[in-house]
A and B are shown apart, each in its own frame.
Chain A
């Protein structure tokens, strides 16, 4: 652990020096010299950009290196935690995730690349976190995890990790996914807060520029849950959304609210073709 803390410090120090370079790097991400990650992809039709770019391309060399080597990626500890939770029996039914799904490397392979999905039973999209809660309540007789609590982050990280390298694609033809995409798009362009900024103000109009010390990326979601050096810990997607909204000095919608689920559907689509990078490392 010492080592990670030390490296986090280095990354911060080097961010100072890097502040003059505004272009995303032209580099390949191959994790452990084995798993090729798509960090640049041709944008889907109707996308405002020609090319979608992973947030990895906008980070410093030190931060990028932490993600490229799973031995030094601090979030791999969370993946291990997630594996433990996967195999832990909980609830009145005496079951663990493994009781129904067996070996996650097989049953969950690539699954995380195709969420959010339409859920006919609740008539709304579900993400991995909500799917976990459904399984806990309906099959395990266990309580749903509260946002960011209990095993939610480790388990979500573990499940998405089984899709590492697989390009993101979601099916908008299911149920009313298209309607949620439309709502999400509206929200993406809605200016919020006293500062009067939308997601697009930072991640579309100004992607590639610096806002104070931060090199603005396209705000892609393919690396979540991810390790943030600033927090020295794992950060969930809805936590990140809430943070960005708070930074406009606006009230934050609740995690898993209709607003943030719609935003997740839309922003996930904006990253179509990028590999799942979970657990990514960001500053």
Chain B
């Protein structure tokens, strides 16, 4: 089944991105080249508005647990385990940001404490209900990456 670019974009805009699932890259098949992932892991474009929700949701990205983001100053409690994300799109390209969110270890090395959000390289004794599952779905990763792209100074 193939979708035209226009269909995909329309689906993404309507929040029906999951219908593009046929193009999804499985977590184990994501290709990293020099700290970049060039292809959308969901096969669709990201939606920055939903990305912002994923970013702040404690159940999804919970990115604020570790990162301060001035664009979300109305949210309580920003952590400082990782760098401040203000202007992050000036420092990293979209392809690099995708690589960081998919599997930060592929970019920063094994020692980083940032979880890989679309990776099955996880810790030991993973909760039974989460075995084989990634923290975020492919489309949620694309949405977060699209949102990060808006963080310019």
Contacts and interface: CB of A to CB of B under 8 A. Distances in A.
Interface of A: 16, 19, 22, 190-198, 201-202, 205-206, 209-213, 216, 245-246, 248-251
A202 to B, nearest CB: 8
A193 B123 contact: yes
B66 A193 contact: no
Nearest to A20: B80
Interface string B73-100: 0001111110000000000000000000
A-B pairs with the 8 shortest C-beta distances?
Answer: A191-B123, A213-B77, A192-B123, A196-B123, A212-B65, A250-B125, A201-B113, A195-B115
Contacts of B133: 194
B106 interface: no
Interface of B: 58, 62, 64-66, 76-81, 113, 115-116, 121-128, 130, 133, 135
Contacts of A194: 115, 122-123, 126-127, 130, 133, 135
Chief secondary structure at chain B's binding surface? loop
Nearest to B62: A212
Contact of B65 (A205, A211, A246, A248): A211
Contacts of A251: 125-128
Chief secondary structure at chain A's binding surface? loop
Contacts of B124: 190-193, 250
B81 A209 contact: yes
A249 B126 contact: yes
Given A194-B115, A197-B113, A211 B127 contact: no
A192 B127 CA distance: 9
Contact of A210 (B62, B80, B126): B80
A205 B111 CA distance: 10
Contact of B121 (A190, A196, A205): A196
Contacts of A212: 58, 62, 64-65, 77-79
Contact of B81 (A196, A210, A250): A210
Given A194-B115, A196-B116, A212-B62, A206 B123 contact: no
A211 B79 contact: yes
A211 B66 contact: yes
B54 to A, nearest CB: 16
A195 to B, nearest CB: 5
A197 B115 contact: yes
A192 B62 CA distance: 18
A126 B104 CA distance: 40
Contacts of B135: 194-195
Contacts of B76: 16, 213
Contacts of A190: 123-124
Given A22-B80, A209-B81, A193 B64 contact: no
Nearest to B65: A212
Contacts of A196: 115-116, 121-123
